[in-house]
Amino acid sequence: MFQDKLILRIPGPTPIPHRVQQAMNHPMIGHRSGQFSKLFADVAKRLKPFFGTTQDVYILAGSGTSALEMAVVNTVGAGDEVAVLVSGAFGERFAKICERYDITAHRLNVPWGEPIRGEQLEAFLAEHPQVKAVFATQCETSTGIINPIEELAQVVRAKSDALFIVDAVSCLGAVPMEMDAWGVDIAVTGSQKAFMLPTGLAFIAASERAWNVIDNRKPQAFYLDLKAYRKSLAEQTTPYTPAVSLIFGLEEVCNMLEEEGLENIFKRHELMRDMTRAAMKALGIPLMTADEFGSATVTSLDPQGKFDAEELRKILRTKYNMIVAGGQQHLKGKIFRIGHMGYCEPLDVITVISAIEMALKEMGVDIPFGEGVKKAQEVYINHV
């Protein structure tokens, strides 16, 4: 086996296309130069369609979590009440960020693997009429669930004056996000998922409603002051030192995504999801989520005692040089997760399924050998 030929199939970071790697090798330029200003303003503008907004998209040097924190500290503060929709590990992260700033976080918890529904949120808001913001996660990476953001946004708008703030880190760019049409006030994502870059950039956009709140608040942060980013973007720059090489890479990512087209990107990810889910069903491996809410970027599987998920991951890693993700928090060691986003195509999915079948055979697990690959092929070949 070629040790440098790692097959990375986790829900981020994701593989980096060769042409993006080459773009990041561009000779360094001054981050306050006219050349960089032109580059930066161009890529910021080109991000808007992925957010489904006419508002500006701001780019900061940091992980997705930095932008989650930015969304919190610019809209609410100590003593405020917020609603946090928790359907997995990353919904809980929003709550922890809020509580670090002495914000009262009311959690709407659902079992991991289930989505938050509109009627649940409506009842919750009736119990907590003072909330100033509702925080949600579009794709809950820990379970492979996609929450119905459009439905939830409608409830927030109809039943409260709260801002609706969405963590879309592990799916934006691979699934639809229509900030303006749906009524999302702030959306956040990161570079290392569907945007096919290394970790290190975060993107955030805010609605006019959100800006009305932000402009009337005293900034709680220095580096994460969103008003500073707005002021700098108007001058085609950043308030603090940008990650120049990643911006060169982002330009090439935009080229690639625009060449494919948004609708085709969405269809590709839906196809890979459908292939993966069909294959796992054929092999008798239980899915953690119902088809209706299965993520197009990551699929979570729960062996339920049929086999050891960690042993499977070990064989994939050591024998096939393939990495799939494990579980988080109380699911650690119990489940495994297959990432299928970004620089990934249907034939890559077939490779993953084939390796899983071989690893399970080696483990002595009774599976209909070859049926997973066959089912994935059928979904692929019949795809319109």
Angle ∠(158,161,165) on CA atoms, nearest 5: 90
What is the phi-psi region of residue 121: left when phi exceeds 0, alpha when psi lies from -120 to 50, beta otherwise?
alpha
Question: Which residues fall within 8 angstroms of residue 249, CB to CB, at 6 or more apart?
Answer: 16, 20, 21, 23, 24, 197, 198
Q: Please, which residues bridge with residue 172 across strands?
A: 175
Rounded Cα distance between 57 and 50, Å, is 10
Does the annotation place 313 within a ligand binding site?
no
Rounded Cα distance between 89 and 276, Å, is 23
Crossing angle of the two packed helices 262-282 and 346-362, in degrees rounded to 10: 20
What is the DSSP-derived secondary structure letter of residue 28?
A: P
Range 218-237 burial, b when 16+ CB lie within 10 A, else e: eeeeeebbbebbbebbeeeb
> Where does 87-211 show beta strands of DSSP type E?
104-109, 133-137, 139-140, 145-146, 163-167, 186-190, 201-206
The residue with tokens 């005692």 is 305
> Where does 71-185 show beta strands of DSSP type E?
81-86, 104-109, 133-137, 139-140, 145-146, 163-167
Rounded Cα distance between 63 and 76, Å, is 21
Crossing angle of the two packed helices 346-362 and 371-381, in degrees rounded to 10: 170
Residues flagged as binding site for substrate: 337
Residues flagged as binding site: 337
